[in-house]
Chains A and B, each alone.
Chain A
Amino acid sequence: MRAASDPRHPHLPGESGVWVFILGDMLMFAAFFIVFMFYRSEDVALYVKSQLTLNQHLGALNTFFMLTSSWCVAVAVEAARGARPRGAQGWLLAAMSCALGFVIVKFFEYREKILAGFTLTSNDFFMYYYMLTGLHLMHVLLGLGVLAYLWQCLRTPAGDTTLRTLESGASFWHMVDILWIVLFALLYLVR
């Protein structure tokens, strides 16, 4: 099994194609973050007023779910490297449970907002809120599929190919985590 800790031998986690996708996605979201902040600076009062209606507790709970899920996936990769595929599968299940928790919380959050009359067309803040969190939620759902696939891959003894696949999927999932860390700050906390 490959150790990924020797600085003299850099190790690219996963497939290079996956990294092209990850970097592209991160650039796209970077543009969205900047566009959001640009328009916010043109009408601060509206954005602050709208933001006050968001449920920060649910936002924070989802941050907890994302960070924990990401950590579980990182531990799963360690377990697979240590030739403990059963352990790795267990950690992946824990990661999927957190991801599912995120989706459920998001459902209740959207429901709360829509019932209170805040929709995509309410104002610019809510347009960005639904667009950015919706796009992120799609990544979470895709990620759930990826984690399930990784779990399936670990049913056979983990060889180099399995490890590489695991690293690719894990890197994608960590990106979903990173994007949420910024979104939580930008949408729920910036005042």
Chain B
Amino acid sequence: MSQILKLRITWLWVFLIVATIASWEFGHGLGFGENVRLSTTAVLVIAFIKARMVILDFMEVRHAPLGLRLALEAWTVLVAGTLLVLYWQAG
């Protein structure tokens, strides 16, 4: 069991769970009071930070050839960016 606790991925898992609880709270409109747009922005940013952590450390893309890492970093940034722009553009 102590070996498991020494693994970086284990602490990452703890962080991912805490981040999920945080974004769940934002989903209930907490954190930014009545400002739904800021809460949603936080929800989306947290989701893509979580996705990036899974990509880099669970998938081990951190140590993969540069091309693959760049492709997946681009995926994260472009998808998150597009979703945020579309969200903020809505009336």
Where the two chains meet, the residues of A that have a C-beta atom closer than 8 Å to any C-beta of B are: 4-7, 10-13, 19, 23, 26-27, 30, 33-34, 37-38, 40-42, 44, 56, 60, 63-64, 67-68, 70-71, 73-75, 78, 167, 170-171, 174-175, 177-178, 181-182, 184-186, 188-191
CB distance from B59 to the nearest CB of A (A): 4
CB pairs A–B below 8 angstroms (26 shown): A11-B63, A13-B59, A13-B60, A26-B72, A30-B78, A34-B82, A37-B82, A37-B86, A40-B86, A40-B90, A41-B87, A41-B89, A44-B91, A67-B17, A74-B9, A175-B59, A177-B58, A181-B47, A182-B47, A182-B51, A189-B26, A189-B27, A189-B43, A190-B44, A191-B29, A191-B39
**Closest residue of chain B to A87, judged by CB?**
B3
Where the two chains meet, the residues of B that have a C-beta atom closer than 8 Å to any C-beta of A are: 4, 7, 9-10, 12-13, 16-17, 20-21, 23-24, 26-29, 36, 39-40, 43-44, 46-48, 50-51, 54-55, 57-61, 63-66, 68, 71-72, 75, 78-79, 82-83, 86-87, 89-91
Chain A residues near B86 (CB-CB < 8 A): 34, 37-38, 40-41
A17 vs B37: C-alpha distance in the bound complex, in angstroms? 40
